[in-house]
Amino acid sequence: MRCDLMDRASTFKAVEGASVVHLSANVPYTSWVDMLPTMVDNAIAAAEAVGAKIVFADNLYSYGPVSGPITEATPERPVGPKEKLRSELGKRLRKASVPVATGRSSDYYGPGGTSSLPGELAIKPMTQGKGAMWFWPLDVPHTFAYLADTARAQILLGDDERADGKVWHTPAAETLSVRDFIALTGQVLGNARKPLRLPSVAVTLSAMFDKRLRGSTEMDHQRTKPWVVDHSAFESAFGPFPVTPHEKAIAETAQWYRSA
């Protein structure tokens, strides 16, 4: 069933008979301020109307700049407008009269991930025989999450009452430096091209033609410093959660790009 989260009646109709509502929708950066608050408010109202639990698929922006691995206990210190907005949306959800579980994941890639940085800047061009390009330092460790793993984790949060009322970091494969992730992509795809490291100012110029990059400079701190996500609390609470190795995840993502 299709649902227009900007339309309250459409949202109410979509959740009829639901016991769990997965709020995973997103919009381009340029529409966040205008659309996300309404989308979240409509989802909350609809879930409350039917007494359904909400599982919110969130990112890590609300933490703001960090030092060291990010855990669920890391204080939220948002600085930029998008970070502050994500923090505010989380607060709105926590005030809902129905149970809410929040699953936060790092930058994602995988089939269906049309706005994925590692997907669009590395896996997709390398699938086409080109070289990856990156606008930030290559030797910085960065956690990348595979969409299929994130989806399984969100479903688990919806099914388990122990998740209610808390924020969880959804599991991801081992954290690599961006350079190593790109090198691994090359090994999987048989593409030995070296990545092109573009100056950060190129993001601003590219954003003039690619709306997916507009507003991304606000989160440069996530890509110029280590961005390592700790998901140990998830497995401590719910047990072992096997994730897809990067090699397999990259291969599946490349196949999706080929067939898209």
Report if residue 236 sits inside a domain. yes
Q: Which two tokens stand for residue 45?
A: 């109202």
Tell the burial category of 46 from Cβ atoms under 10 Å away from its Cβ (0-12, 13-18, 19+): buried
Domain count, the chain: 1
Question: How many whole angstroms separate alpha carbon 79 and alpha carbon 152?
Answer: 31
Q: Which candidate, 58, 66, 89, places its Cα nearest to that of 153?
A: 58
For tokens 């460790």, the residue is 141
Report if residue 25 sits inside a domain. yes
What pLDDT score was predicted for residue 198?
85
Give me the domain span that covers residue 76: 8-259
Q: What is the pTM of this model?
A: 0.94
Report if residue 148 sits inside a domain. yes
**Each residue of 181-222: pLDDT tens digit?**
999 999 999 999 999 998 777 766 666 666 656 666 788 999
**Each residue of 142-183: pLDDT tens digit?**
999 999 999 999 999 999 999 999 999 999 999 999 999 999
Report if residue 2 sits inside a domain. no
Q: Which candidate, 149, 106, 121, places its Cα nearest to that of 242?
A: 149
Report if residue 1 sits inside a domain. no
What pLDDT score was predicted for residue 151?
99
Report if residue 92 sits inside a domain. yes
| CATH number of residue 238's parent domain | 3.40.50.720
Report if residue 165 sits inside a domain. yes
What pLDDT score was predicted for residue 37?
98
Report if residue 217 sits inside a domain. yes
Residue 59 phi/psi, 5-degree rounding, is -110, -165
